[in-house]
Structure formats: C-alpha cells, structure tokens
Amino acid sequence: MSIRLRFIGFFVGGLFLFIVLMGVFIMVAMDVVLPRVPIPATWLPIVELAVILLPFLAGGVLLGMWLVQPLLMIIARLRQLTTSEGHYEHDDTAFYRRNGRIKRRYRLYREALADLSMLSQHLQQSEQERKKLEEAKTNWIAGVSHDLKTPLSYITGYSSLLLDDRKEWSEEEKKRFLHEIHAKSVVIAEWIGDLNLSFKLDALSSSYPLQLKRLDLVDFARRLLADVANHPNAAVYELEFLCSEEEVTVYADEWLLFRALQNLVMNAIHHNPAGTRIKVIIVNTSQQQTVLSVSDNGTGITESDLQHIMERYYRPKEADSRNGGLGLSLVKHIVDAHKWEFHIMSGLGQGTTVELFMVHDSISEPEIVK
C-alpha cells in the first residue's frame, strides 16, 4: 500500500473512530453521569462545555503523539545526519523492535524510514570512499614528492658542480652536466604538464575543447615511436610497429592523442626490465572503428593493481622513482574526452596489452577542425 493511501485510510478510520467514541462519551456523560452528580445550576453549562471539549483535547493529544512524535524523531535523525561530520551509522532501535518489525507508531512512515535507512547507508559508504580517496591522495602526493626529488637532486647536484669555483671543468664535462640538467628539467616539465592536463580533463569532462583534425594514424604512430626511440631510457628496449595498411584515417586532437600514446609507450618502458619488446599495432576492425594497441612481454600487472590502475591517485606498492607521472589515468581522461573506449589486459609475468577503440562516428562534423 502506498503512503498516500495509508494516510487517507488512517485519517478516515481515525476520524470515524473519533466521532463514534466522542458520541458515546458525550452521551454517557450527559445522560448517565451528570444527572447523578449534584452540580449547581450556574455551573452546569460550564461542565457540559468541558465534557464536550474534553474528547477533542484528548483526541488532539493522542493524534499528536501518533503523528507528530514520529515526525519529530525522523527530523531529529535527519538533523543528526547533516551535522554528524562523518558519523553516519544508522541507529534502528528507535524505530524497530528486536524482531526487526517496525514499531506500531512508526508504521505510517515505513517508506520514509526505509529511505532514511538507505540515505544513512549511502552517506556511510560515501564517507568510507572519501576516506580511502584522501588516504590514496596523501600517499600519492608523498610518492610524487619522492619522484620529483630524483630529477631535482640531479639538477641541484650538477648545477652546484658548475658553480663551484674551486674546480675547473672541461668544455666536454660542462656540456655533459648541462645535458643532464636539461634532461631532468624536461622530465619535470612533462610531469607537470601531464598533471595540469589531467586536472583540466577531469574538471571539464566531456566538455573539454578538443582541437579535432583528420590524422593519418600510421604516420602519426611512426613519428611518435621515432620520438620515443630517441629517449635515453628507450635504448635498451625493442620497439616495434605493425600495421597492414599504408594509411588509417582518424579524427582526433593530435596533441592529446600524442600525450596518450606517448604515456602508454613510456609506461611500458618505465615499468619493465631492459630487453622488453614493446609493440604498437593498428588494426581497422570495421569502417566505423580502429583499434590501436600497445603491448609488451614484460612483468605484467597484478590483479589487485589492475583493479585500480586507472585511478588518478593510485600508486602500486611496487612503484619506485622511475614510475612517476599519471600514466593510465591521463590516458583514460583523453580517451573519455574523445568518446572512445579503453581496455587493459594484463597478468603477472604475462605482459600487458592496452587497447584504444577509436569510434569514427563518435565525433560530429562541426567539431572537426578543418
């Protein structure tokens, strides 16, 4: 029965019962009780009025206890939830009996009590998730601070050597020092750029202003791999590109796609031992979809890490100073901005494969930069 029908039934039944009881009470009082009680004639009208008003007063008190008191209890519980500051445990003892049934006076509000209980559970769950996020954020910031110390220590160390007037360095040594300072500065700049981009994509979500254009994905991937191959850390890894077609056309934001693919390839380099084979494969599965995958035969990802690997503030327990950056979290934001799909498959000791499903018709013509 809906709460509306229950209220109507309660008021109709209560009103009928009240009229009957009031009639019986007034009839008995007027015809049986008052004639037997010696009451002065001057007081008789006042007594009769009191006899008539007494049922209304008693009925109002009972109605208030039956209707208003449960509402006050529910309001007090809602106030407790809004001011509890993280303590959202639901105390059912005030509304339910030990056997789990609702107390009689609260049965009229069973839907409200059920919603209140659900609200309390949702708030409690949200609070637990918030605490986990805060803890992950704290650990992430601590890890990032540790990651940044490594390139900063190189910059500080080499710049101190160059500024030391007590030593004379050859031009070749100075050039090597400056090269290291420049390389570590680039690492920090790229990391800060990724962080800024990730927050922008997260804040704007699907409304991020993409600069879409027609791209030859084959040529684009080859140029990116050539760029990655020049990275000092990539020298000891095998980079391979596979595509059966000479040209594959997609519409994408070139800079964002570059950041996504670069992150995927560099992740495979940072998280795997030297000698790992890294493949970039492009396949046209249909006229409406192209799949770009980055796979490696490296160490793989544990099942527990795989469940959280795309969360921004998640850092695997095995993370070290090589693994700074936002990695798959940034890639996911870029994929979501393009309305594409993103899958990751991995197993410990089985390598990792990340697939980007580029849907051609997910982008409308007016959005494309000519």
Report d(CA 110, CA 95) in Å as an integer. Answer: 9
Residue 185 token pair? 């500065």
Q: Which of 330, 332, 301, 298 is nearest to 318 (CA)?
A: 301
Q: Provide the residue type at 360 as one letter.
A: H
Q: Which of 24-38, 90-104, 123-137, 229-243 is the most confident on average?
A: 229-243
Report d(CA 176, CA 188) in Å as an integer. Answer: 19
Beta-sheet strands, E only, within the chain: 212-216, 238-243, 249-253, 277-286, 289-296, 341-346, 352-359
Helical spans, DSSP H, in 252-367: 254-270, 303-306, 328-337
- Mean of per-residue pLDDT scores for the chain: 80
Report d(CA 303, CA 312) in Å as an integer. Answer: 18
With 70 as the cut, is the pLDDT of residue 2 above it?
no
CATH topology of domain 141-205: Helix Hairpins (1.10.287)
The stretch 245-267 carries a mean pLDDT of 90
Q: pLDDT grade, residue 145 (50/70/90)? A: confident
With 80 as the cut, is the pLDDT of residue 191 above it?
no
For the chain, give every domain's residue range: 3-125, 141-205, 208-367
Report d(CA 278, CA 352) in Å as an integer. Answer: 10
| Residues contacting residue 310 through CB under 8 Å, at least 6 positions apart | 328, 329, 331, 332, 342, 344
With 80 as the cut, is the pLDDT of residue 300 above it?
yes
Q: What is the CATH number of domain 208-367?
A: 3.30.565.10
Core vs surface per residue 284-320: b (16+ CB within 10 A) or e: beeeebbbbbbbbbbbbbbeebbeebbebbbbbeebe
Q: Which of 280, 275, 273 is nearest to 221 (CA)?
A: 280
- Which pLDDT does position 100 carry in this prediction? 72
- Residue with the bigger pLDDT between 115 and 155: it is 155
- Which pLDDT does position 295 carry in this prediction? 95
With 60 as the cut, is the pLDDT of residue 364 above it?
no
Percent of the chain past pLDDT 70, that is, above it, reads: 85
CA dihedral 332, 201, 227, 234 (to 10 degrees): -50
Residue 160 token pair? 């101190």
- Which pLDDT does position 179 carry in this prediction? 87
Percent of the chain past pLDDT 90, that is, above it, reads: 20
Output the furthest CA–CA distance in the chain (Å, rounded): 128
141-205 and 208-367 in the same fold:
no
